[in-house]
Structure 1
Amino acid sequence: MNTPAKTFPIWARLSLATNFILIFAIALLIARQQNLTAFFGLIPNPSTIHPNSQSKAQAAALPVVPKLGQRHKLSYWQWVDILKQEAKVVAQKNPPRLTILAGDSLSLWFPSELLPKDRNWLNQGISGEKTTGLLNRLDLFNSTNPETIFVMIGINDLIRGVSDETILDNQQQIVRYLRKNHPTAQIVVQSILPHEVERVTWEGKEKLLAIPNSRIRQLNQQLEDIAKTEGVKYLDLYPLFANSQGNLRPELSTDGLHLSQQGYLVWSSAIRLYSEMELLIGVRG
Structure 2
Amino acid sequence: MSSSVKNFPAWAFFSLLSNGILLFAVILLIGKQQGFTAFFGAVVSSTPQPTNIQTQQVVAVPQGKRYKFNYKKWVNILKQEAEVAAEKKPRDLTILVGDSLSLWFPAELLPDNKTWLNQGISGEKTAGLLKRLNLFDRTTPETIFVMIGINDLIAGVNDETILQNQQQTMAYLRKKHPKAKIVVQSILPHQGEEATWEAKEKLVAIPNSRIRNLNQQLQTIAAKEDVKYLNLYPLFADKQGNLRSNFTTDGLHLNPNGYLVWSSALQLTMNSEQ
Both proteins in one fold, TM over 0.5 = yes
Identity of matched residues, % = 63
Q: CA RMSD, aligned part only?
A: 2.7
Among 49, 57, 60, the alignment partner of 1:64 is: 49
Among 142, 149, 161, the alignment partner of 2:144 is: 149
Give the partner amino acid of 1:230.
E
Partner of 2:238: 243
Q: CA 1:65–1:212 in 2, change beyond 3 Å: closer, same or farther? A: farther
CA distance in 2, matches of 1:228, 1:205: 34
CA distance in 1, matches of 2:254, 2:142: 26
Among 93, 97, 102, the alignment partner of 2:92 is: 97
Partner of 2:20: 20
Partner of 1:127: 122
Matched, 1:170 2:145: no
Report the Cα offset of residue 119 of structure 1. 0.9
Partner of 1:263: 258
Q: CA 1:91–1:166 in 2, change beyond 3 Å: closer, same or farther? A: same
3-state SS of paired residue (1:156): helix
3-state SS of paired residue (1:33): coil
Cα contact 2:27–2:39 (8 A) shared by 1? no
Q: Output aligned runs, 1:215-254, within 5 Å.
A: 215-254=210-249
Give the partner amino acid of 1:262.
N
Report the Cα offset of residue 117 of structure 1. 1.0
Deviation readout 1:246-284 (Å, 9 max, x if unpaired): 0000110000000001110110011001211222xxxxx
Give the partner amino acid of 2:214.
L
Cα contact 2:193–2:204 (8 A) shared by 1? no
Among 38, 45, 54, the alignment partner of 1:33 is: 38
Cα contact 1:105–1:125 (8 A) shared by 2? yes
Report the Cα offset of residue 27 of structure 1. 3.9
Q: CA 1:124–1:34 in 2, change beyond 3 Å: closer, same or farther? A: closer
Give the partner amino acid of 1:32.
T
CA distance in 2, matches of 1:275, 1:227: 17
CA distance in 2, matches of 1:34, 1:187: 27
Q: Output aligned runs, 1:151-230, within 5 Å.
A: 151-230=146-225
Give the partner amino acid of 1:24.
F
CA distance in 2, matches of 1:273, 1:192: 19
3-state SS of paired residue (2:139): coil
Report the Cα offset of residue 96 of structure 1. 1.1
Runs of 4+ aligned structure 1 residues displaced above 4 Å come to 11-18, 34-38
CA distance in 2, matches of 1:35, 1:242: 12
Q: CA 1:184–1:208 in 2, change beyond 3 Å: closer, same or farther? A: same
Cα contact 1:101–1:123 (8 A) shared by 2? yes
3-state SS of paired residue (1:32): coil
CA distance in 1, matches of 2:18, 2:79: 35
Q: How many residue pairs get matched?
A: 250
Structure 1 gap segments, 5+ residues each = 42-62, 280-285
3-state SS of paired residue (2:37): helix
Partner of 2:58: none
Cα contact 1:27–1:240 (8 A) shared by 2? no
Give the partner amino acid of 2:211.
I
Q: CA 1:137–1:35 in 2, change beyond 3 Å: closer, same or farther? A: closer
Structure 2 gap segments, 5+ residues each = 1-5, 52-61
CA distance in 1, matches of 2:142, 2:40: 36
Deviates more, 1:22-31 or 1:109-118: 22-31
TM-score of the aligned structures, taking structure 2 as reference length: 0.84
Give the partner amino acid of 2:183.
V
CA distance in 2, matches of 1:145, 1:235: 22
Deviation readout 1:23-59 (Å, 9 max, x if unpaired): 1133453852167855x89xxxxxxxxxxxxxxxxxx
Structure of larger gyration radius: 1
3-state SS of paired residue (2:97): strand
Cα contact 1:18–1:277 (8 A) shared by 2? no
